């Protein structure tokens, strides 16, 4: 899916507040994913919000071996509509800019929370091109954490705080990469924005960066741009 970002969009995102999110899900009827625990952390890995969640529909499988959650765990916990309201307050607390949201498989997390959020503010470690397999299949967060950060997660029960921190650390590592150029010319009418060693066709050698960008279409947005001045 193509992502189009204006220069104003990127100026707004640079230096923006960032939060990471992770959810633990249990299974409902028809294999429905139900959020049972959620954690949000800030860029300094401090917890902003952390709670167990009362599912809206009956639970078929608590997935105890993974989640560590039982029926008793979710008794008298916060209902989903209240959890959703609290999270939205956090995400929208810096209007009109809002916060950049980091996570692994964000579409899945937001879906189970029944929250929609602007694509341009999502930073998903499952779908970020440099972190994916060569066939654009996602790696697991466990694999990415071990490979890029050098430690193990999800040993025993999954911890949403630990997973949110790992996603945040991956995001910050990708942002800190220094790229002399962030574009690749691939045809006379298209330019891919990314993190690669740039090459240009002869026809483009006399064009300025601004001229090339004017005829470009973004394929993915390089996260290193988030932290540029």
pLDDT above 70: residue 141: yes
pLDDT in tens, 152-181: 999 999 999 999 999 999 999 999 876 554
Percentage of the chain with pLDDT > 90?
A: 60
Q: Which is it for strands 190-193 and 183-187: parallel, antiparallel or unpaired?
A: antiparallel
pLDDT in tens, 85-101: 999 999 988 766 679 99
158 versus 220: the higher-pLDDT residue is 158
* Confidence at residue 96, expressed as pLDDT on a 0 to 100 scale: 61
Answer for the pair 100, 16: CB distance below 8 angstroms, yes or no. Answer: yes
Query: Band of the pLDDT at 7, cuts 50, 70, 90?
Result: very low
Answer for the pair 11, 93: CB distance below 8 angstroms, yes or no. Answer: no
* 3-state helix/strand/coil string of the chain: CCCCCCHHHHHHHCCCCEEEEEEEEEEEHHHCEEEEEEEEEECCCCEEEEEEEECCCCEEECCHHHHCCCCCCCCCCEEHHHHHHHHHHHHCCCCCCCCEEEECCHHHHHHHHCCCCCHHHEEECCCCHHHCCCCCCCCCHHHHHHHHHCCCCCCCCCCHHHHHHHHHHHHHHHHCCCCCCCEEEEECCEEEECCCCCCCCHHHCCCCHHHHHHCCCCCCCCHHHHHCC
Answer for the pair 160, 167: CB distance below 8 angstroms, yes or no. Answer: no
Task: Please state the φ and ψ torsions of residue 155, each to the nearest 5 degrees.
Answer: -95, 110
pTM of this prediction?
Answer: 0.79
What are the residue ranges spanned by the domains of the chain?
7-175, 183-227
pLDDT above 60: residue 200: no
* Confidence at residue 220, expressed as pLDDT on a 0 to 100 scale: 65
Tell me the CATH number of domain 7-175, given options 3.30.420.10, 1.20.1250.20, 1.20.1530.20, 3.30.1360.40. Answer: 3.30.420.10
128 versus 194: the higher-pLDDT residue is 128
């Amino acid at each position: 899916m193509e992502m189009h970002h204006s220069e104003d969009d990127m100026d707004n995102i640079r230096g923006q507040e960032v939060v990471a999110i992770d959810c633990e899900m249990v299974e409902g009827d028809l294999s429905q994913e139900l959020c049972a625990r959620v954690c949000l952390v800030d860029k300094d890995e401090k917890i902003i919000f952390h709670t167990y969640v009362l599912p809206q529909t009956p639970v078929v499988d608590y997935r105890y071996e993974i989640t560590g959650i039982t029926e008793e765990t979710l008794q008298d916990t916060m209902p989903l509509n209240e959890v959703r309201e609290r999270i939205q307050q956090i995400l929208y607390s810096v209007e009109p800019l809002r916060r950049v949201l980091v996570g692994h498989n964000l579409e899945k997390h937001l879906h189970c929370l029944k929250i929609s959020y602007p694509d341009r503010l999502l930073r998903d470690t499952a779908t970020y091109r440099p972190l994916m397999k060569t066939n654009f299949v996602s790696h697991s967060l466990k694999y990415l954490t071990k490979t890029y950060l050098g430690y193990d997660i999800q040993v025993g029960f999954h911890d949403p705080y630990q997973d949110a921190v790992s996603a945040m650390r991956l995001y910050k590592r990708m942002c800190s990469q220094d790229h002399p150029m962030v574009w690749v010319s691939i045809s006379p009418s298209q330019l891919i924005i990314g993190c690669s060693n740039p090459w240009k066709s002869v026809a483009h050698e006399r064009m300025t960066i601004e001229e090339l960008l004017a005829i470009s279409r973004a394929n993915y947005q390089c996260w290193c741009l988030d932290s540029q001045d």
